[in-house]
Structure 1
Amino acid sequence: MTPTIEIQNITEAECLGLMRSQPVGRLVFTENALPAIRPVNYLLDGRDIIVRASQETWISRLDGSVIAFEVDQIDPRSHTGWSVVVLGKAEFVTDIDQLVRLSDPNHRPWAPGRHDRCMRLRAAEITGRRLALAG
């Protein structure tokens, strides 16, 4: 007998906790009027997403743009899991005190090279859904 799966909404507090459990998410934005998605590792700063990048990357073009961020964890065997989506505006961190605080060596970008620029996704909306076994 196949188990029954149900969809549950996740509270914002649960979403934030789940986001802290994963090192990689996906930035969603438009590039040349087309949708673009990039996997990135990130740091959660309160409700905001912080992504460190170099000056010369695609991320430089996002300042002031409305973007999305998605992170999930899925179990293909049980067909259960969760997904969190954050919507908001991208802005670059320029305050030196914030830059020092956000340059945590425990949250270094995985990609090679210098990552001396921090982009903040100011969370305007955080939503999540869980696929769970009905019980």
Structure 2
Amino acid sequence: MDANDGFRELDRQECMRLLAKVPVGRIVYTRQALPAVLPVNFRLDRDGAVLLRTSALSPLVSAVDGAVVAFEADAVDAAAHSGWSVVVTGSATVITDPAEHARLLRSGPRSWAPARQEVFVRIDPELVTGRELVGGRSMYGVQLPS
């Protein structure tokens, strides 16, 4: 941790452990040549891939299939001025294999907004980074000005 900024870099294992604790993150992708961010519920697969479940008719599906995307999740404690953030960058693919789709229907994430035709999107984690803020503003016993 750099004593000047109060952040501690997280290793990949810590990042994956933290991701497994939260149900909602944000997918960052390109929509009409502009950056787009969408909150989604997710689950980590057994190999560490990020899994999303969405409507097959969602514009997200065609925008991310085969594209490199970022996925971010975090947890913040505003009272303690602490928290963490993890970013996973990797290729997204829509699951088309019937056996894999059936497995994910049983064990994958449950959509918070179910649709008639649902698909699973898999983000393979190529780059995983994270950082943690511990005791933010009051870390050194001095309250910094806002």
Q: Same fold (TM over 0.5)?
A: yes
> Deviation string for 1:21-50 (max 9, x for gaps)?
100000001111111000000110122111
- Residue 66 of structure 2: which of 60, 64, 74 is its match? 64
State the distance in 1 between where 2:67 and 2:97 align: 20
Query: Is the counterpart of residue 25 in structure 1 residue 25 in structure 2?
Result: yes
Of 96-105 and 61-70, deviating more is: 96-105
- Normalized against structure 2, the TM-score is what? 0.83
Shift of 1:101: 1.5
Where in structure 2 are the equivalents of 1:4-23 lying within 5 Å? 6-23=6-23
Shift of 1:81: 0.3
Shift of 1:114: 2.7
Greater relative CO (CA pairs within 8 A, separation 6+): 1
Aligned length: 132
CA RMSD between the two structures? 1.9
- Tell me what 1:100 maps to: 102
Shift of 1:5: 6.9
> Deviation string for 1:50-105 (max 9, x for gaps)?
11111110222211111000000001111100000000011111122211121136
Q: Deviation above 4 Å: which 4+ runs of structure 1?
A: none
| AA in 1 matched with 2:78 | P
Q: Which is higher, the Rg of structure 1 or of structure 2?
A: 2
Q: Residues 51 and 108 of structure 2 are in contact (CA less than 8 Å); yes or no, is this contact kept in structure 1?
A: no
State the distance in 2 between where 1:123 and 1:34 align: 22
Q: Residues 41 and 52 of structure 2 are in contact (CA less than 8 Å); yes or no, is this contact kept in structure 1?
A: yes
- Normalized against structure 1, the TM-score is what? 0.89
State the distance in 1 between where 2:117 and 2:25 align: 17
| AA in 2 matched with 1:79 | H
Shift of 1:112: 3.3
State the distance in 1 between where 2:55 and 2:44 align: 19
Q: List gaps (5 residues or longer) in structure 1.
A: none
